Amino acid sequence: MTKPIAENRRARYDYFIEETFEAGIMLTGTEVKSLRVGRANIAESYASVEGREIKLINADIPPYGQANRFNHEPRRHRKLLLHRKQIDKLIGAVQRDGRTLIPLKIY
């Protein structure tokens, strides 16, 4: 496994982790460059259901220094890439059981 870019160590203390999923994140070019430099913070972030999609909310990926006017918004909502079966399972857990979706690490 590669070295984590951002890790939410407090989540394991604050929450009972019942199940983990590995998901991709839909990013823009400047977000990828900023993550390669190793700049991200997911300490206050969570995932939320929006329609039939799951979005990562409040994850802070700071603007890339050399991107000037083409930079991204640091705390925008980012779509998580999961299989349909996983999305349906998570939507059911959130709506039926009132579960919370918390990111643990970005690598």
> Is residue 80 in some structural domain?
yes
For residue 66, the one-letter residue type is Q
* pLDDT confidence bin for 1, thresholds 50/70/90: low
> Is residue 74 in some structural domain?
yes
Q: What pLDDT sits at residue 66?
A: 79
Overall average pLDDT of the 24-52 stretch: 92
What pLDDT digit, counting tens, does each position of 54-96 carry?
Answer: 999 999 999 888 777 778 888 899 999 999 999 999 999 999 9
> Is residue 97 in some structural domain?
yes
> Is residue 82 in some structural domain?
yes
Overall average pLDDT of the 36-47 stretch: 92
Q: What pLDDT sits at residue 94?
A: 93
Which residues are CB-contacts of 7 (< 8 A; sequence separation ≥ 6)?
42, 104, 105, 106
CATH number at residue 97: 2.40.280.10
> Is residue 1 in some structural domain?
no
> Is residue 57 in some structural domain?
yes
- Tell me the residue range of the domain where 52 lies: 6-106
> Is residue 73 in some structural domain?
yes
* Stated pTM of the model: 0.87
Q: What pLDDT sits at residue 104?
A: 95
Task: Specify the number of domains making up the chain.
Answer: 1
Report how far residue 93's alpha carbon sits from residue 89's, in angstroms, rounded to the nearest whole number.
6
